[in-house]
């Protein structure tokens, strides 16, 4: 039996990669279709034994901007291009859950818990700003070397917010 869910997921990601391929990948910090990347932000923190990052290393990671909602911004989906030659130059990967702004609907469950914007948790209208919230959570993760909010329980996350 063929796994149509995986095929549809792959097809969706290829479609989203085609949409963003019109953008300047380097200017918008998104991975090119056949680009090699080094390691994720999560991997770097693990390698540094969970030491927090100084602000001068976090600022370059904060740059972001796309015409689509990524909806899955987390440390695992932000990769370093080449730590040796371009330290701290990052690219956003994994557009499998990305949505065009016109596709978003009230009540959609998007974003991983712990990086989820309050308006998503509460079922309120949302915009591309939810990705900015996700980036903020990633930056806090880098600085604190731990998650700012619970990633196991949405109730605990909202309670802390």
Domains assigned to the chain:
4-160 (1.10.510.10)
Give the pair of three-digit tokens for residue 3. Answer: 């796994």
Q: Are 151 and 110 in contact (CB under 8 A)?
A: no
User: How much is the CA Rg of the chain, to the nearest whole Å?
Assistant: 16
What mean pLDDT, rounded, does the chain reach?
79
Tell me: pLDDT of 50 over 90.
Answer: no
pLDDT tier at 67, thresholds 50, 70, 90: low
Tell me: pLDDT of 43 over 70.
Answer: yes
Question: Which residues are known catalytic residues?
Answer: 72
pLDDT tier at 64, thresholds 50, 70, 90: very low
In degrees, rounded to 5, the angle at the alpha carbon of residue 144 between the alpha carbons of residues 72 and 119 is: 40
The pLDDT, as a whole number, for residue 1 is 44
The pLDDT, as a whole number, for residue 61 is 62
What pTM was estimated for this model as a whole? Answer: 0.65
3-state secondary structure labels for all residues of the chain? CCCHHHHHHHHHHHHHHHHHCCCCHHHHCECCCCCCCCCEHHHHHHHCCCCCCCHHHHHHHHCCCCCEECCCCCHHHEEEEECCCEEEEEEECCCCCCEEHHHCCCCCCCCCCCCCCHHHHCCCCCCCHHHHHHHHHHHHHHHHCCCCCCCCCHHHHHHHC
Tell me: pLDDT of 133 over 90.
Answer: yes
């Amino acid at each position: 039996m063929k796994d149509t869910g995986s095929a549809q997921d792959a097809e969706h990601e290829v479609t989203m990669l085609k949409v963003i391929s019109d953008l300047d990948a380097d200017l918008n910090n998104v991975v090119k279709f056949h680009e090699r990347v080094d390691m994720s932000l999560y991997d770097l923190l693990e390698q540094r034994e969970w030491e927090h990052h100084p602000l001068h290393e976090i600022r370059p990671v904060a740059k972001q901007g796309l015409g689509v909602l990524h909806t899955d911004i987390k440390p695992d989906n932000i990769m370093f291009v080449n730590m040796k030659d371009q330290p701290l130059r990052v690219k956003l990967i994994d557009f499998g859950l990305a949505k065009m702004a016109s596709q978003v609907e009230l009540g959609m469950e998007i974003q991983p818990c712990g990086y989820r914007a309050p308006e998503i948790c509460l079922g309120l209208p949302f915009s591309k700003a939810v990705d900015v919230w996700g980036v903020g959570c990633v930056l806090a993760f880098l600085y604190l070397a731990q998650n700012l909010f619970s990633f196991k329980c949405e109730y605990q996350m909202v309670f802390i917010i």
